[in-house]
Amino acid sequence: MAAATAFLGTLSSDEKALAQLEFTQEKAVAWSNLPCGSTCRPGVMFGDLTDAQVAAGKSVLLTALGTGSGTGYERVLQIFAADGYLGSVQSSQGTGSSAGAGMSGGPGGGMSGGPGGSGGPPAGMSGGPGGGMSGAPDASGGSSSAGGGLGGYDSGNYYLAFLGTPSTTGTWQLHFGGHHLAVNITYKDGKVEGASPFHVGVEPTSWTDTDGTTHAPLDDMKTAMVAMLAGLSSAEQTKAKISATYSDIVLGPGSDGKFPATKEGRVASGLTAAQKTLILNAIKPWVTNADDATAATLMSTYESEIDKTYVGWSGHTTMTNHADYVRIDGPSVWVEFVCQNGVVIQNQIHYHTVYRDHTRDYGGEFTFS
């Protein structure tokens, strides 16, 4: 609450009007995989803020998210870097719009506070509000003042909003995201009521900076899922295999409450303690998006429900090919991980994932049919 209040204090009245909004279902569910700017999500854009304002915004994320290695805050910074890299790759391919026209930055140069790399989307590809998890970004290239954000892959094309008033009483939500990222943490009377939906993806799956630093921000998620499946015997893998083919996650944006009526795969009841531990280890990287104490509480709940939790997969258990897919579905927890062909780097796969909770999404504030 203190960090949120401090951030809001750095904003102009116009910026604050974008960042602090009423907590409604319409605004809460407005998140997307696409870099479609403010056409598909609320908030004030980091790329329009000064360095000092971005630093205050990052302080909100630092206090709200997991702070250990590879957890929430660090993963968010890696997704920023991934989009900066993706934008630079697209520009080098000559498929993006120039970084000049149509990209309105505020004081501090527009793109302050994040790694470089800009470029618009391929012509003719678009995605609107709740536009699902597939396709490329909005091709408008419009400025944030026109509601279009930066119009492409860019580390500044991420939006922060508070739905409701940050307080130790009442209900409010931290709402943050952009391309391949959606953070939704709901607070009620000073406690976290829900740390989901949490969507994270990345293209490419790994890359190396000019200084030789290699990044693979979702490698821990993939590794944990592969280890979980490898821990099953061949008969158990056969039981866990889902007949359908998935080229994307099932419960992406616009799919709130649409959990399958029947759980599929292999139920954990009857598995060994070591196999159950592998399932919990596979859940943990998503849950540690939340602050450490909340993550520990959620993991304790999911561990208590492990015997009624199902593991399912489709494609290949190696998670290296298009349409390789794995799912964990419990009484509460839901995690999906899928491999897809690349959008910009088309000779490689990239990842889409989502973490949800059957009862705690958006703090349990809404009912979905």
Beta-carbon count within 10 A of 21 CB: 17
pLDDT at position 343: 93
pLDDT at position 151: 53
pLDDT at position 91: 86
Q: Which of 85, 43, 293 is nearest to 182 (CA)?
A: 43
In the chain, how many domains are there?
2
One domain for residues 173 and 216: no
Q: Chain-centre distance of CA 190, in angstroms? A: 24
Divide the 369 residues of the chain into consecutive groups of 10 and give the mean pLDDT of each group: 97 98 98 94 97 98 91 95 92 57 29 30 30 34 36 89 97 98 97 97 95 95 98 98 97 97 97 98 97 96 98 98 98 98 93 98 94
Which of 150, 184, 202 terminates a domain? The answer is 202
Range of the domain at 79: 2-202
pLDDT at position 201: 98
Residue 341 has φ and ψ, to the nearest 5°, of: -60, 145
Q: Which residue has the tokens 């602090």?
A: 20
Q: Tokens representing 33?
A: 């995989």
One domain for residues 88 and 159: yes
* Burial (0-12, 13-18, 19+ Cβ within 10 Å), 292: middle
pLDDT at position 252: 97
Diameter of the chain measured on Cα atoms: 61
pLDDT at position 95: 57
One domain for residues 224 and 344: yes
Q: Tokens representing 114?
A: 């994040």
Distance CA 60, CA 5 (A): 9
pLDDT at position 189: 96
Which pTM does this prediction carry? Answer: 0.86
One domain for residues 197 and 214: no
Residue 297 has φ and ψ, to the nearest 5°, of: -65, -45
Cα→Cα distances 223→92, 140, 177, 196, 337, Å: 31, 37, 24, 22, 11
One domain for residues 42 and 124: yes
pLDDT at position 247: 95
One domain for residues 292 and 321: yes
